[in-house]
Amino acid sequence: MSEQEWTKSATSSRGNKKLPEIERVFNHVRETVDSIVSNGAFSHRKLQLRLDSSGECTVNVTIRRMMKKFLDEGKVNSYYRCRSTLLNIEGFGGTDIRFADITGQWLRDCESRWVKEGKSLSRKLALTKQQIKQIMEFSGTPRLEMYRDLWLFSYLCNGINFRDMLFLKYGSIVNGEICFVRSKTMYAYGRSKVIRAAIAVRQVISKCNNALRRIASQIGIPPFTTYSCRHSFATVMQRSGIAISFISESLGHSSLSVTENYLAGFDRETRFRNASVLTELS
């Protein structure tokens, strides 16, 4: 901040309360820098190591802290995504990866290794109307049909998140409509959150995704997951000429620009898919 901003902040009632803590932290950093300089050449790496309470500020440590934060907040899916990321990067780079080690070449080598191991790149998948019709007409074992119905219910409810869907109650039906607040939005605005069934929700999602892969294989469409409900709902509405304002409201987005960016990803995939026919000359 500028000198004027600092002066204004320091003279405000809020600033007066924070000023002692700011000065304490600043003095600690300055003393640490002076100590490093007096004992040799200064580097940000040395400063990180000295300031970090654990003695090491590595990629591994940072991701573990994120995992703990997500778990404390009840964001179980985010926790598992972080854990999966950590296991994968440690399988490539070890258990002590410095941030300075993460170069463009490091990332390319890491990606090459993962591709060779068969790890697929994450991608959005929005099904066509014909593919959704195939899912609706699918018949199989009672278990597969149960997970089929869960996916179709999510699709018909504006692509409702499976966590939110499993917390629906009879009281969620208001004037003939199913009303709910997205758990993702609850976190964003600091509302109370329910986390008692978080692990059970993940188990249902995992089992459902396994069943959906089997359904996709049997009816001959690309593998799809529970999250494709939301993508499919949005793109079917868009390609049917529905106003983007209605789609945005239905998805629970905070603004039209969020929805536009959300749909833009599918438009880009469509352009690349259509461009591929230029080389299909046989």
If pLDDT is split at 50, 70 and 90, which confidence band does 187 have?
Answer: low
Q: Is residue 162 one of the residues assigned to a domain?
A: yes
Q: How many domains does the chain have?
A: 3
CA distance 118 to 113: 9
Do 40 and 95 fall within a single domain? Answer: no
Residue 13 sits in which domain range?
3-51
Tell whether 91 and 224 lie within a shared domain: no
| Vertex 223: Cα angle to 221 and 224 (nearest 5) | 105
Count of helices and strands (H, E) across the chain: 14, 2
What's the pLDDT at 179? 78
User: Could you tell me the two tokens for 158?
Assistant: 């504006």
Task: Mark whether 9 and 30 lie in a shared domain.
Answer: yes
| 251/218: higher pLDDT | 218
Residues 204 and 267 in one domain: yes
For residue 173, tell me if it sits in a domain: no
140/21 same-domain check: no
Is the predicted pLDDT of residue 151 greater than 50, yes or no?
A: yes
Domain match, 25 and 47 both: yes
d(CA 137, CA 129) in angstroms, rounded, equals: 12
Q: 84 and 63, same structural domain?
A: yes
Inside any domain, residue 74: yes
Please check the confidence at residue 139 and state whether its pLDDT lies above 60.
yes
Cβ atoms of 233 and 266 within 8 Å: the answer is no
DSSP-H helix ranges across 39-128: 44-51, 59-72, 76-93, 104-116
Specify whether 100 is located in the same domain as 204: no
In a domain, 182, yes or no: no
For 92-114, give the DSSP string. HH-S---GGG--HHHHHHHHHHH
Is position 183 within any domain?
no
Domain stop point among 35, 51, 67: 51
- Among 3-7, 10-14, 72-76, the least confident range: 10-14
Segment 156-175 shows an average pLDDT of 79
Pick the range with the lowest mean pLDDT from 26-30, 52-56, 79-83, 102-106.
52-56
Distance, in Å, from the CA atom of 45 to the CA atom of 49, rounded to the nearest integer, reads 6
Instruction: Note the helical H segments in 96-197.
Output: 104-116, 129-136, 142-156, 162-166, 183-188
Query: What is the percent of the chain where pLDDT is above 90?
Result: 1
In a domain? residue 149: yes
Rounded Cα distance between 204 and 52, Å, is: 39
